[in-house]
Structures are given as structure tokens and as C-alpha cells.
Amino acid sequence: MGIFETIKNAFGSKAEQDPEAAVVPGPPSDHQVPQDQAADQHARADENQDLNKYTVQSGDTLWKISLEVYGDGSKYMEIFQANTGLLKSPDQVFPGQVLVIPEL
């Protein structure tokens, strides 16, 4: 018996105890978003379509990203300035961060 089976037997599975517990209900079919909220969501969606995103990979630097997306590494400060809420320094980017890549 493996570790998974041991834990499962010790604590049981919620789905085995109550089959309906595993079902996650979706929103009601008559669910409607208020008009002003729908307009805000639409506006944000339009803004995000204009923004390019880049997920930082291990070994990346802003210079390397700038060279890849702009063809010019010296434009790295454009990326830094667009991400000042996320980045404290242009020398510190970490894998998994999602950066906004502004249009030049």
C-alpha cells in the first residue's frame, strides 16, 4: 500500500463520504452582471488587449527581455517603468513574474 492509499484510508475522501460534496455548482443561469460593472469589465478587457505580457523565466534579465521583444536591450527601462508596481529594481526580476511589455 502506498502513501496515498494510507492517507486516503486514514482520512477518507470527501467525495466518498458525500458524493455531492465534489460537485462545484456554477453560477445560476439567471445571473446577470449589473450594467455599470459590465461596462467596467469591458473597458478593462479592452485595455488588456493592448498590453503585451511576458512571464519571466529563470535566467532572464530586463535587458535580455528587451532585446527579445524590442530587438534592443537598451530599452529595458521602458519595461521597468511599466512595471514599477511589481519591480523594485531593474536588476531584480524573478521567475514567474508577469511583466507588462509596453508598446514603443
b/e for 82-93, b at 16 or more Cβ within 10 A? bbeeebeebeeb
Rg (CA), the chain: 23
d(CA 49, CA 51): 6
pLDDT in tens, 38-84: 455 444 444 444 469 999 999 999 999 999 999 999 999 999 999 99
Question: Tens digit of pLDDT for each residue in 23-46?
Answer: 444 444 444 445 555 455 444 444
Please tell us whether the domain made up of 49-104 is placed in CATH 3.10.350.10: yes
pLDDT at position 80: 97
Distance of alpha carbon 81 from alpha carbon 87, whole angstroms: 9
Predicted confidence at residue 5, as pLDDT, reads: 64
Is the alpha carbon torsion for 59, 65, 71, 72 positive or negative? negative
pTM attached to this predicted model: 0.52
